[in-house]
């Protein structure tokens, strides 16, 4: 029942948040502000992993989609709320664009609240969490060593997917969403699975073992709580990942995230300008770059910087050595 227990650990966390949210005037925004997105991420990660172990279990596939829908809906509120707050700090940005983004945030929050009701995350009885537990209790769970063998193979599969993705771009990332953001999404799952498995993945080795990766061992990475694994005490079957290579992975996720966020701020402002001024997307992007005092090269510079660090990372072969 290790599989069930893993799901139930995060289902309980999510259920606690939902029960608290039900008491609020605005449940959706409360969930966003109180980090309900994290257990939703963990549950989606578990569903991705166990979808490999139980390929014929349609219920796991459906749960994966439910967790993803919830996480995406919270994430969209997060995006517009923080975008508006970031742009408010720039005196050159007109207030009507900020107002548009605040309204967009409210619109996405209404969609989140509708999802909570429609998908019965919030329900007087037998809510979505209860239904998930019932389905999970019916699964014929495999032995822990069998699970871990599949997870190890899946890590290798996902690593190959990342390398193939980089190769398919021929050293140049030319689109923010389809290239840089998608690359980061693929990497991010490799760092989410250890937290989702709650101790069954541990780090081995020392940073000094790989001095060639030293540039990735920033203070931010070394001190990140995301790089501290849940305790694996008492667990018999553990998948070990190389600590220096996991830290390099963490640096890449953080750095591409910063570049991606800068670009998305431009496109988010462009969306506000296009809707407010009835401009084409291309003209709105130009206006957005002008509004923040840029000469129009910021997107190209971000894409160039992303290409450079991604290609340099691939050349280290660090990802190929992630599994210890």
pLDDT tens sequence across 41-56 = 999 999 999 999 998 8
Last residue of a domain, which of 82, 106, 137?
137
Say if residue 181 is in the same domain as residue 301.
yes
316 and 172 share a domain?
yes
Beta strands in 196-248 (DSSP E): 201-204, 239-242
pLDDT band, very low/low/confident/very high, at 224 (cuts 50, 70, 90): very high
User: Based on the domain organization, do 90 and 210 belong to the same domain?
Assistant: no
3-state secondary structure of 240: strand
Cα–Cα distance list, 10 to 41, 63, 115, 252 (Å): 10, 13, 20, 27
Mean pLDDT for 13-29 is 97
Which one, of 4, 3, 49, lies nearest residue 189 by Cα? 49
Clarify whether residues 15 and 44 are in a common domain. yes
- Do 281 and 307 fall within a single domain? yes
Are 284 and 252 contacting, i.e. CB atoms less than 8 angstroms apart? no
Same domain, 33 and 72: yes
Rounded mean pLDDT of the chain? 94
CA 155 – CA 158 distance, rounded (Å): 5
Same domain, 112 and 160: no
Q: State whether 93 and 235 are in the same domain.
A: no
Within a 13 Å sphere around the CA of 308, how many CA atoms are in the beta-carbon half? 8
Domain of 81 in residue numbering reads as 2-137
Q: How far apart are CA 100 and CA 98, in angstroms?
A: 5
Residues 160 and 123 in one domain: no
Q: For residues 51 and 61, what is the distance between their CA atoms, to the nearest angstrom?
A: 7
Q: In angstroms, what CA-CA distances link 208 with 91, 193, 245, 322?
A: 45, 25, 11, 16
Same domain, yes or no: 50 and 155: no
Q: Are 130 and 12 in contact (CB under 8 A)?
A: no
Let me know whether 113 and 242 are in one domain: no
What is the pTM for the complete model shown?
A: 0.94
Of 112, 137, 162, the last residue of a domain is 137
Indicate the helix (H) or strand (E) that contains 56.
none
The answer to whether 120 and 128 have CB atoms below 8 angstroms apart is yes
What is the total count of domains within the chain? 2
- Between 150 and 235, residue with greater pLDDT: 150
**Helix, strand, or coil (residue 217):** coil
29 shares its domain with 100: yes
Task: Identify the domain boundary among 114, 137, 160.
Answer: 137
62: tokens are: 């459906």
């Amino acid at each position: 029942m290790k599989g069930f227990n893993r799901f139930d650990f995060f289902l309980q966390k999510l259920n606690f948040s939902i029960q608290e949210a039900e008491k609020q005037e605005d449940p959706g925004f409360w969930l966003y502000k109180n980090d309900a997105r994290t257990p939703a991420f963990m549950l989606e990660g578990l569903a991705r992993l166990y979808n490999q172990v139980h390929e014929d279990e349609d219920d796991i596939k459906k749960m994966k989609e439910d967790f993803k829908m919830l996480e995406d809906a919270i994430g969209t509120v997060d995006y517009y709320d923080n975008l508006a707050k970031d742009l408010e700090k720039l005196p050159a940005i007109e207030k009507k664009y900020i107002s548009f983004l605040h309204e967009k945030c409210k619109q996405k929050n209404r969609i989140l609240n509708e999802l909570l009701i429609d998908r019965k995350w919030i329900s007087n009885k037998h809510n979505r969490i209860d239904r998930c537990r019932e389905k999970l209790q019916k699964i014929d769970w495999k032995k822990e060593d069998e699970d871990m063998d599949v997870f190890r193979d899946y890590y290798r599969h996902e690593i190959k997917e990342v390398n193939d993705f980089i190769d398919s771009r021929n050293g140049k990332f030319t689109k923010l969403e389809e290239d840089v953001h998608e690359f980061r999404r693929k990497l991010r799952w490799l760092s989410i699975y250890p937290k989702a498995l709650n101790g069954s993945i541990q780090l081995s080795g020392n940073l000094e073992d790989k001095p060639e990766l030293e540039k990735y061992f920033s203070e931010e990475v070394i001190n990140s709580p995301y790089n501290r694994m849940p305790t694996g005490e008492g667990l018999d079957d553990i998948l070990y990942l190389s600590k220096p290579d996991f830290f390099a992975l963490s640096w890449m996720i953080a750095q591409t995230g910063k570049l991606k966020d800068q670009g998305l701020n431009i496109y988010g402002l462009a969306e506000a300008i296009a809707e407010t001024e009835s401009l084409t997307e291309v003209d709105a992007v130009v206006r957005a770059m002008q509004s923040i005092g840029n000469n129009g090269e910021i997107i190209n510079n971000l894409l160039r910087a992303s290409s450079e660090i991604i290609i340099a990372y691939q050349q280290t072969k660090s990802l190929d050595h992630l599994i210890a």
